[in-house]
Structure 1
């Protein structure tokens, strides 16, 4: 019974991780700002998403944003994101954590900044 549940959860999570992301809404927990990614940003998000790896994590990271992610085919859910590049979802009391290959690029894409740091590569804001 337990082994069956583990196999089902594994297939659900691997299916989710392989799907194309079609929409992302980002809520910055520090500022309260909410943004939606446009088509160009979604393309860059999917590049990072396809390259993610399962992460053991660095203890309990400082989750800075909540992302509502919609996948092709109609599935989706709420994920937490930390500045170290970790994404985490809680599904059926099973925690899955991934890390993207380039956390700095993902932070810029999600409009998240490290506290006290000015990123010169970030676009100017009006």
Structure 2
């Protein structure tokens, strides 16, 4: 797709469910997304908030898409950055996708300070 940085486009979605993770990666592939921004934790107070739609390490296959975790950099307590190789197993084409994961947004509320969110941005 044609990406013009002066006219960015966004897809807003909830985190995928276990049975929709492959659909999520298909959407990322079809739309040519290179960045995923995640604003929720996987677990909060022992309750699942979002399905882990990426491998904890190595690679995992979601239908025809292989997701390989390349790196995970913890910048601070508030956020981390992951890098993935996303491979279409039908065409063997590979792309890099970066996930920015903000960890300090509580499920029922807002962050206690704007500082962490502004630094994340």
What interval of TM-score do these two structures reach, taking the shorter chain for normalisation? under 0.3
TM-score w.r.t. structure 2 length?
Answer: 0.27
TM-score w.r.t. structure 1 length?
Answer: 0.26
